[in-house]
Amino acid sequence: MPQATGVTTGTTGQGKPPGRAGWLLLTPLIVWAVAFVVAPALIMLVYSFASRGALGDVVYDFTLENYKGVGDPVYLQIVIKSALYAALTTVICLLAGYPVAYLIGRADERWRNLLLMAVMVPFWTSFLIRTYAWLTILKSEGLLNSLLIQLRLIAEPLEMLYTPGAVVLGLVYTFLPFMILPIYTSVEKLEGALIEAALDLGAGPLRAFSRVIVPLTSPGIAAGVLLVFVPALGIYAVNDILGGGRVDMIGNIIENQFKSARNWPFGAALGTTLLMSFAAIYFYVNRRQRAAIVK
Amino acid sequence: MSRFASLVLAALVGFAVPAAAEELSLFAWSEYIPQSVLDGFTKETGIEINYETYASNEEMLAKLVSGAASYDLIQPSEYTVEALVKANRLVKLDHAKLPNLKNIGKEYWGQPHDPKLEYSIPYMQGTVGIVINTEKVKEPVTGYNDFFQPKYKGRLVILDDALEIVTWALSSIGLDANSVTKENLEKVRPVIAKWLPLVKVYDSDSPKTALLNGDVDLGMVWSGEAAILIQEAPKKFRYVLPKEGAHMFIDNLAIPKGAENVPAAHKFMDYIMRPTVSVEISKEFPYTNPNVEARKLLTPAERANEASYPPGNPKLETFRDIGPIAADVDKLITDLKAKSGA
């Protein structure tokens, strides 16, 4: 399928290295990446081998204790739970986001921009404010309960706020656009003729979808899955606000080490481990992606 | 000279001569010092205040210890004062520059963290107690064991604070709140394991919200939060100190070593101990005011608020610095919270 490979090489930008002008244009990006990505990661790496002083200061002696602590069942159970929450969020986002992205991608130009706008508009408001707004909707004397009682669908207010369900709702709400946008980009590039060809050659709609449309939009799906799963694993504000602090995720544990527990080295070890896992997931997804295309 | 050039010159001069105004850099709890008090100080002394805030003693310590910035005044709770004194990190106060110290009640002298107030002065004092929504809970709730009952499952808000929870459990089984040892942590583990599945919300920042919204009916919260609930609905909410013994905290002002403007820090301390200023703080943040002269300026209703000024002689205890075992306390609560469902 030459078209398919054409799409991917176009997006991953394989080719000759940038010339002098290219490097010049890249400088801001490189400076930014070194200052805000590489340097902090290195500081974390150094901290993660240090130990905690009496006042919670960082004492620079080489130790592996922090990494031993990461493997402790107490923290492992939370890592597993966070991964489950993040995976559930990703699946729901994919199921809900794919049809939306497909519709937007196949809509005619006038509608497309309007629909895209609708996906982006929530970003105009601060993420925290949007999350607090859910509090007003879900609380027991809140908008949703009042509405349902008014409509006589329920007699007693439902318990919605401060539940695991509220956390998943908040996570899906937060990350859905990150699933829709990359899939949309793939769908937009999709050649209509290929689908018609599949249908002409005897594939039913289901088969055309699973054998043609999904493989051709898989770069978008992969990007969407990464963009949702990775941040959902590390987030801590949504579960604090909508989960009432009951659902501790790995992000909360790390936050706690830097704040109330004052154990920066341990927090750094947890953070470094998480970063390494993200890198591993990224390479895994990327390799599968390539393998799928070669096939 | 063109207008642009004069602007540039003005900017350069501005950079070259560091602001003529004297500065005081204050590192304090968020939502704890009224803006009017800060403005009043600047107006009276001409000293500009650089105001930075934090949400927990631990956060403040982390920043102070990292040496990322220097501060002239900090606002630590009593156990943090103790830790800082132990580590020799506080400047000794000059009582001659603090004439208003005479307004501080005698019960604030002789406290274990700083018996002679050599390093710190009390800012506000509070307790951690039980708030009851009397419209929903009719029976009396007088202690930790009454509060954490299966029938209240899903109706409780408590502070999201590992050390607090552990001390409640210690008190509930008759141990001293400050006896945080490895053996005692094992003793309270089953108690807390029974408690946490009953909790609906953990919130240290604004535990009153869940109570006001009607999502929970009972809370174990800071007295200042309870006092605000009682102000808003005096008939609906009541505040009770647990009979097994309650945690009392004293938030203080202190000068960390390395402070650049020690005289201004003394001036600010003395300023906020002035009764007319101190009462302003009480009006906005209704904790217990350690300033007995300021208390006289409160309205009778404010003085009668049982959260701010608990009646009777409750058993109160302050926290002591527990040192490195804090990590075990944190791990115990992290573990039990994860196992408590959700």
B9-125+249-304 and B126-248+314-339 in the same fold = yes
Task: Report the gap between the CA of B260 and the closest CA in chain A (Å).
Answer: 22
d(CA A157, CA B189): 34
Question: What is the reported pTM?
Answer: 0.82
Between the alpha carbon of residue A9 and those of residues A13, A23, A293, A294, the distances in Å are 6, 21, 10, 12
Residue A55 at interface with chain B, using a CB cutoff of 8 Å: yes
Q: Does domain B9-125+249-304 have CATH number 3.30.420.40?
A: no
d(CA A209, CA A109): 23
Residue A286 at interface with chain B, using a CB cutoff of 8 Å: no
For position A12, what pLDDT does the model report? 47
- Dihedral (Cα; B213, B216, B217, B218), 10-degree rounding: -120
Question: For A158, which residue in chain B has the nearest alpha carbon?
Answer: B215
Write down the domain spans for chain A.
70-294
Whether the predicted pLDDT of A235 surpasses 60: yes
Residue B164 at interface with chain A, using a CB cutoff of 8 Å: no
For position B68, what pLDDT does the model report? 72
Overall CATH class of domain A70-294: mainly alpha
Question: For A163, which residue in chain B has the nearest alpha carbon?
Answer: B342
* Cβ–Cβ below 8 Å for B200 and A264: no
How far is C-alpha A193 from the geometric centre of its chain's CA atoms?
32
* Cβ–Cβ below 8 Å for A81 and B338: yes
List of residues 6+ apart from B71 with CB closer than 8 A = B25, B26, B27, B52, B64, B256, B259
Mutation site, B220, B331, B333, interface A, largest A CB count within 10 A:
B331
Whether the predicted pLDDT of A11 surpasses 70: no
State the pLDDT confidence band at A1, using cuts at 50, 70 and 90: very low
d(CA A154, CA A152): 5
- In this structure, are strands B120-133 and A51-52 parallel, antiparallel, or unpaired? unpaired
Residue ranges of chain B with pLDDT lower than 70? 1-20, 342
The model's pLDDT over B99-121, given as tens digits with 9 standing for 90+, comes to 999 999 999 999 999 999 999 99
The model's pLDDT over B207-229, given as tens digits with 9 standing for 90+, comes to 999 999 889 999 999 999 999 99
State the pLDDT confidence band at A295, using cuts at 50, 70 and 90: low
The model's pLDDT over B250-278, given as tens digits with 9 standing for 90+, comes to 999 999 999 999 999 999 999 999 999 99
Show the tokens assigned to A257: 């080490």
Give the helix/strand (H/E) hosting A249. Answer: none
Write down the domain spans for chain B.
9-125+249-304, 126-248+314-339
Mutation site, A46, A77, A162, interface B, largest B CB count within 10 A:
A162
State the pLDDT confidence band at A222, using cuts at 50, 70 and 90: very high
Q: 3-state SS string over chain B? A: CCHHHHHHHHHHHHHHCCCCCCEEEEEEECCCCCHHHHHHHHHHHCCEEEEEEECCHHHHHHHHHHCCCCCCEECCEHHHHHHHHHCCCECCCCHHHCHHHHHECHHHCCCCCCCCCCCEEEEEEEEEEEEEECCCCCCCCCCHHHHCCHHHCCCEEECCCHHHHHHHHHHHCCCCCCCCCHHHHHHHHHHHHHHHHHEEEECCCCCHHHHHCCCCCEEEEEHHHHHHHHHHCCCCEEEECCCCCEEEEEEEEECECCCCCHHHHHHHHHHHCCHHHHHHHHHHCCCECCEHHHHCCCCHHHHHCCCCCCCCCCCEECCCCCHHHHHHHHHHHHHHHHHCCC
Nearest Cα neighbor of A166 from A234, A85, A81, A253 is A85
A241 or A55, greater pLDDT: A241
Q: Apex CA B48: angle with CA B43 and CA B53, to 5°?
A: 115
Residue A139 at interface with chain B, using a CB cutoff of 8 Å: yes
**CATH code at B126-248+314-339:** 3.40.190.10
Strand, coil or helix: A59? strand
B226 or A141, greater pLDDT: B226
Question: With contact defined as beta carbons under 8 Å apart, do A47 and A63 qualify?
Answer: no
- Please tell me what DSSP assigns to residue A52: E
Task: Report the gap between the CA of B207 and the closest CA in chain A (Å).
Answer: 10
For residue B335, the chain A residues in CB contact (below 8 A) are: 74
For position B140, what pLDDT does the model report? 94
Residue B82 at interface with chain A, using a CB cutoff of 8 Å: no
* Cβ–Cβ below 8 Å for B326 and A262: yes
* Cβ–Cβ below 8 Å for B342 and A54: no
Residue B233 at interface with chain A, using a CB cutoff of 8 Å: no
Give the helix/strand (H/E) hosting A112. Answer: helix A109-120
For position B5, what pLDDT does the model report? 52
* Cβ–Cβ below 8 Å for A139 and B215: yes
* Cβ–Cβ below 8 Å for B327 and A246: no
d(CA A52, CA B330): 14
